[in-house]
């Protein structure tokens, strides 16, 4: 799984560097050629997210600091990859999430959009040597742009993380256990 994540990150980084050379436009749908036809322009977008999530079933909470790098294809669609750190206050553990971020935007005003998206990936746990698992984070919120190069978004998100791991029991045999967390949280993102 780690090799697959590294391959996806590498390919996306190459694509993002090529997209960075494309002309920057705050709203690519308004750009037109001399002939009057719309020009499709993509824009590189970086986002730093700060979020807090609390367990629905268990008393567990995470403070997340993450970055997302990707491409804003137009005003309506964004795709990127992200990573960061998730601090667990109950056992003082730190997880490293790696994910693909897909988002859609629905304009409600000139500089305000409804935002809906999903993160799909995994979390790496270096404290206990466990890695892998499945991470799913759908989110819904509002995104706004203050200038061409700076914006913010606010979202409510749900997080499902599922991981299977092996534990040796008293008889010496290995038991397969499953960890599943259901969290709900708030996110604030700063777009550059």
SS3 111: coil
d(C-alpha 192, C-alpha 158), whole Å: 24
Going by C-beta distance under 8 Å and a sequence separation of 6 or more, which residues neighbour residue 7?
Answer: none
Distance of alpha carbon 58 from alpha carbon 88, whole angstroms: 13
Top-level class of domain 2-191: mainly beta
The tokens for 62 are: 């995470």
Q: Which residue has the higher pLDDT, 47 or 167?
A: 47
pLDDT of residue 22 exceeding 50: no
Is residue 82 scored above 90 in pLDDT? yes
* Model confidence pTM above 0.95: no
pLDDT at 157 over 80: yes
Round to whole Å and give the CA distance between 65 and 80. 16
Residue 176, classified by CB atoms within 10 Å of its CB into exposed (0-12), middle (13-18) or buried (19+), is exposed
Going by pLDDT thresholds of 50, 70 and 90, the confidence category of residue 126 is confident
Q: How far apart (Å, rounded) are the C-alpha atoms in residues 132 and 63?
A: 20
Residues β-bridged to residue 181: 161
Q: Is the pLDDT of residue 114 over 90?
A: yes
Q: Where are the domains of the chain?
A: 2-191
d(CA 150, CA 153): 11
């Amino acid at each position: 799984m780690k090799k697959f994540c590294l391959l996806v990150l590498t390919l996306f980084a190459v694509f993002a560097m090529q997209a960075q050379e494309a002309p920057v436009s705050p709203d690519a749908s308004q750009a037109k050629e001399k002939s009057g036809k719309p020009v499709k322009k993509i824009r590189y977008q970086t986002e730093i997210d700060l979020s807090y999530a609390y367990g629905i079933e268990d008393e567990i909470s995470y403070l997340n600091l993450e970055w997302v790098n990707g491409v804003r294809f137009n005003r309506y669609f964004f795709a990127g990859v992200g990573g960061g750190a998730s601090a667990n206050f109950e056992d003082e553990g730190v997880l490293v999430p790696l994910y693909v971020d897909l988002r859609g935007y629905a304009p409600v005003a000139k500089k305000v959009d409804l935002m809906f998206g999903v993160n799909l990936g995994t979390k790496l746990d270096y404290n206990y040597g466990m890695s892998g698992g499945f991470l799913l984070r759908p989110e819904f919120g509002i995104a706004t742009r203050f200038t061409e190069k700076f914006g913010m978004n606010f979202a409510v998100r749900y997080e499902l993380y599922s991981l299977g791991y092996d534990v040796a029991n008293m008889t010496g045999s290995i038991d397969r256990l499953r960890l599943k967390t259901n969290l709900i949280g708030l996110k604030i993102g700063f777009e550059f």
